[in-house]
Amino acid sequence: MNTINYWLMKSEPGVYSISDLQNQNQTIWDGVRNYQARNFLRQMQIGDLAFFYHSNAEPPGIFGLMKIVETGIADPTQFDVNSKYYDDKSTPESPRWQTVKLEFVEVFNNPLSLSTLKQNFHGDELLVVKKGNRLSVTPVIESVGSRILEIARDT
DNA sequence: GCCAACGTTGGC
DNA sequence: GCCAACGTTGGC
């Protein structure tokens, strides 16, 4: 079966924003150092769609869409002694942190701020609106994902 | 394996 | 800047 999954991925726009991805077209999503988030990265399939969420932003929310174009990439920053994401327990033979390559799809006409998301979805439907949730990579159930797309593309 | 101390995330 | 809600670390 080749079902397309939806994901939500957070980044602080001051560090890396949807505009940065638009300019670059593709990026490796590096720097994730949380096991639960990494496990979701491992589950991603080529062709899956991911919402780009701006955290620590004004306002926080979903601002665009990207697509997974490559999976199972060893995060290069884990081997870089000068990176803040360096992990001395990880080796190239058995890397601890895997990630994906993403391609820009679109900037949303109607971004969905966190408050808008809270009006439309509950915490059990969409983890990012759940109080206390800090995961930077989360799955989005399909019906919620397509509803977000509808709202985001509405003109 | 427990859990206190500490660090981080991220909304407000 | 505040602080709630986590996750991680390390002594025992």
The model carries a pTM of: 0.94
Closest C-alpha to A68, from A54, A43, A49: A49
Query: CA of A46 vs C1' of C1, distance in Å?
Result: 42
Question: How do residues A65-82 score in pLDDT, each as one tens digit?
Answer: 999 999 999 998 988 888
A56 nearest nt, CA–C1': B10
Q: Please, which positions of strand B sit below 7 A from a protein CB? A: 8-12
**Chain A 88-127 residues in 7 Å CB range of strand B:** 114-115
Q: Is there contact between A12 and strand B, defined as CB under 7 Å from any strand atom?
A: yes
Query: CA of A66 vs C1' of C9, distance in Å?
Result: 35
Calculate the average pLDDT of chain A: 93
Residue A51 CB neighbour total at 10 angstroms: 26
Question: What would the two tokens of residue A111 be?
Answer: 């971004």
Question: How do residues A115-141 score in pLDDT, each as one tens digit?
Answer: 999 999 998 899 999 999 999 999 999
Q: Is there contact between A57 and strand B, defined as CB under 7 Å from any strand atom?
A: yes
Residue A124 is predicted with a pLDDT of 87
Residue A74 is predicted with a pLDDT of 92
Q: Please, which positions of strand C sit below 7 A from a protein CB? A: 4-8
Rounded to the nearest angstrom, the gap between the alpha carbon of residue A76 and the centroid of all alpha carbons in its chain is 18
Phi, psi at residue A43, to the nearest 5°? -85, -10
